[in-house]
Amino acid sequence: MVLFTVVNDLLSKHKINPKSIDILVSNCSLFCPMPSITSMILNKFGFQSNIKSFNLRRMGCSAGIWSISMAKDLLKVHRKSLALVLSMEAVTPNGYGGREKSTLLPNILFWMGGAAILLSNRKQDK
């Protein structure tokens, strides 16, 4: 729900065709579905078949920074490319349902959210 929404919002807002994206990097610290987040995004939005996709997981809160750094490094190698970086948190499947107040704190601080950023090394996007 979160991830599809942020990708759809970004693509719609900037009128980007999913087939024009060359690199996809996603991250989530706790939620590790099968198939992976990147494969769900690729199939849902119809990205090109030769896209370079990377799914980072179990890296905690620093995963967002690592994802952007990875996309930046990939853009140095792959000229005239667009990179989509997705960062999300989905603690809901691991939420605590009990009544112990001290244990409820993570439910309040870390719930669900996501962000998408589009990076480019194409001249026309400057």
Residue closest to 32 by CA, chosen among 118, 104, 90, 113 = 90
The Cα-based distances of 121 to 72, 74, 115 in angstroms read 9, 10, 20
**Contact by Cβ (8 Å): 63, 28:** yes
Distance CA 98, CA 89 (A): 21
Q: E strands within 1-94?
A: 23-28, 52-57, 82-90
Distance CA 9, CA 110 (A): 22
pLDDT value of residue 53: 92
Cβ-proximal residues to 91 (8 Å cutoff; 6+ apart), any chain: 30, 31, 106, 107, 110, 111, 112
Residue 98 burial by CB count (10 A; 0-12/13-18/19+): exposed, middle or buried? exposed
What is the per-residue pLDDT across 85-104, written as a single tens digit (0 to 9) for each? 998 876 655 666 777 877 77
pLDDT value of residue 88: 82
* Domains identified in the chain and CATH numbers: 2-125 (3.40.47.10)
Tell me the whole-structure pTM to 2 decimals.
0.81
pLDDT value of residue 38: 84
Low-confidence spans in the chain with pLDDT less than 50: none
